[in-house]
């Protein structure tokens, strides 16, 4: 296993910059998820690490070696593809043996390793089958096996679960996580599903528009998103973002909505707001941090209910506030009707404040 360092990675197609100065370090044995919406550059970044597309500028280091101009076959990597890319004309056995044959291992050693990988992944009985005779889950397992037999320095995975049905996806998610824990493998994992990234990865690199937005542990990214994009992309349902104006209330800094109400701020939040480049500030809050009251309370902000979505465990209420939609979760016992007026209470400790112009998180410093 080895660490991977990306330094100022750039990939352009004509005038289009698919990857823009991406730098990050993956420690030995770490599971890093590259996550972002489609077209954000995450797959291109992975293909750059694999050597499948040529680099425009920057450096890629695997272990202690700069691999910029090294062929994929000599980078000591293994890759699992979204469509599995199993060789259709070869049996499962030959699919697993192929990377070893290409490395000219002796036949009895190949046999040993293939059978060991098949045993680990519980597919010894499938070895003579052709890929088309396997179910989606089994194919995905063969693809994992083909990466595993080689014992490479780094595993690259490109949306390996997105072709599976929902139930199987959850099951394979825990299998891959287990596989990482057992092997202490260095894994770079591309996904558009933030839930996969949050549940599996040690660190997540959130990308958008070819830029790396934030690179940190899922807990930190979730608790302290650096900008509005990360805030709205990570977490489900998404964080509610409400555009507000900075105002002064009896000499204290406050935020006011288009409906005319104003919200007092804690001293820390007031200092953050004073750092904004303009009078526009966006308030961010996750559904579980907002309290919903059916009757007027001190400091409560009135909002009109738009829809109510019971899911069983919790009920999600969407309310309209200052031209934005706010998501609130309430126990299923609370009954709320559309168009009803409710009062929202925001937790000053857990709200997020963003600069309305730059979209960056505001800090108190």
Residue 225 contacts another protein per CB under 8 A? no
Tally the C-alpha atoms within 13 A of residue 195's C-alpha that lie toward its C-beta: 10
Interface stretch with another protein, choices 85-93, 185-193, 300-308, 343-351 (CB under 8 A): 85-93
Min. distance of Cβ 98 from another protein in angstroms?
A: 5
Closest to another protein by CB, 146 vs 286, is 146
Residue 106 contacts another protein per CB under 8 A? no
Report d(CA 247, CA 255) in Å as an integer: 6
Residue 8 contacts another protein per CB under 8 A? no
Report d(CA 301, CA 321) in Å as an integer: 9
Report d(CA 50, CA 323) in Å as an integer: 45
What is the length of the chain? 365
Interface stretch with another protein, choices 77-85, 178-186, 241-249, 269-277 (CB under 8 A): 77-85
Residue 61 contacts another protein per CB under 8 A? no
Report d(CA 269, CA 252) in Å as an integer: 11
Closest to another protein by CB, 52 vs 66, is 52
Specify the 3-state DSSP secondary structure of 356: coil
Residues 276-335 within binding reach of another protein (CB under 8 A):
none
Min. distance of Cβ 82 from another protein in angstroms?
A: 8
Report d(CA 137, CA 156) in Å as an integer: 19
Q: How far is CA 359 from CA 215, 271, 336, in A?
A: 17, 17, 33
Interface stretch with another protein, choices 66-74, 220-228, 301-309, 325-333 (CB under 8 A): 66-74
Min. distance of Cβ 81 from another protein in angstroms?
A: 5
Closest to another protein by CB, 103 vs 294, is 103
Site string for another protein, 40-59 (x = CB under 8 A): ----------xxx-------
Site string for another protein, 150-179 (x = CB under 8 A): x-----------------------------
Q: Among residues 88, 251, 260, 331, which is the contact residue for another protein, using CB under 8 A?
A: 88
Cα angle for residues 237, 242, 247 (degrees, 5° grid): 155
Looking at residue 178, the DSSP 8-state letter turns out to be: H
Closest to another protein by CB, 46 vs 244, is 46
**Which residue, 127, 140, 206, is CA-closest to 168?**
140
Q: Among residues 71, 108, 165, 313, which is the contact residue for another protein, using CB under 8 A?
A: 71
Residue 73 contacts another protein per CB under 8 A? yes
**Which residue, 123, 156, 132, is CA-closest to 4?**
156
Is residue 21 exposed (0-12), middle (13-18) or buried (19+ Cβ within 10 Å)? middle
Residue 93 contacts another protein per CB under 8 A? no
Min. distance of Cβ 158 from another protein in angstroms?
A: 8
Pairing of strands 301-310, 341-346: antiparallel
Interface stretch with another protein, choices 65-73, 235-243, 274-282, 339-347 (CB under 8 A): 65-73
Interface stretch with another protein, choices 99-107, 122-130, 298-306, 357-365 (CB under 8 A): 99-107
Q: Report whether 169 contacts 175 (CB < 8 A).
A: no
Residues 227-256 within binding reach of another protein (CB under 8 A):
none
| H or E stretch covering 156 | strand 154-158
Cα angle for residues 158, 164, 167 (degrees, 5° grid): 125
Residue 72 contacts another protein per CB under 8 A? yes
Q: Report whether 259 contacts 319 (CB < 8 A).
A: no
Contacts with another protein by CB under 8 A lie at 50-52, 71-73, 75, 77-79, 81-83, 85, 87-89, 98-99, 102-103, 146, 150
């Amino acid at each position: 296993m080895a660490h991977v360092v990306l330094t100022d990675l750039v990939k352009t197609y004509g005038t289009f910059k698919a990857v823009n100065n991406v730098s990050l370090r993956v420690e030995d044995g770490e599971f890093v998820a590259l996550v972002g919406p489609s077209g954000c550059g995450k797959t291109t970044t992975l293909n750059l690490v694999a050597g499948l597309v040529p680099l425009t500028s920057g450096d890629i280091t695997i272990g202690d070696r700069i691999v910029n101009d090294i062929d994929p076959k000599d980078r000591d990597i293994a890759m699992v593809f979204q469509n599995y890319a199993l060789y259709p004309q070869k049996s499962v056995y030959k699919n697993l043996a192929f990377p070893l044959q290409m490395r000219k291992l002796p036949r009895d050693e190949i046999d040993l390793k293939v059978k060991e990988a098949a045993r680990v992944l519980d597919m010894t009985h499938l070895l003579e089958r052709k890929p088309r005779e396997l179910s989606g889950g089994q194919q995905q397992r063969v693809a994992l096996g083909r990466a595993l037999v080689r014992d490479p320095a780094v595993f690259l995975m490109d949306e390996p679960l997105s072709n599976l049905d929902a139930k199987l996806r959850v099951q394979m998610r825990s299998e891959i996580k287990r596989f990482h824990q057992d092997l202490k493998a260095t894994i770079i994992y591309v996904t558009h599903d933030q839930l996969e990234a949050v549940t599996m990865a040690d660190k997540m690199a959130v990308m958008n528009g070819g830029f790396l937005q934030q690179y940190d542990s899922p807990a930190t990214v979730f608790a302290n998103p650096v900008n509005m994009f990360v805030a709205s992309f990570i977490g489900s349902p998404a964080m509610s973002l409400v555009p507000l104006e900075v105002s002064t209330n009896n000499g204290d800094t406050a935020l006011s909505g288009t409906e005319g109400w104003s919200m007092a701020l804690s001293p820390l939040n007031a200092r953050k707001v004073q750092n904004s480049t303009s009078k526009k500030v966006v308030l961010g809050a996750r559904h579980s941090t907002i309290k919903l009251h059916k009757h007027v309370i001190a400091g409560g902000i009135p909002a009109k209910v738009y829809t109510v979505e019971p899911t069983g465990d919790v009920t999600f209420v969407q309310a309209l506030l200052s031209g934005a939609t706010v998501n609130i979760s309430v126990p299923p016992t609370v009954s709320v009707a559309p168009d009803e007026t409710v009062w929202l209470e925001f937790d000053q400790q857990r709200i997020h404040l963003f600069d309305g112009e730059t979209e960056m998180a505001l800090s108190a410093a």
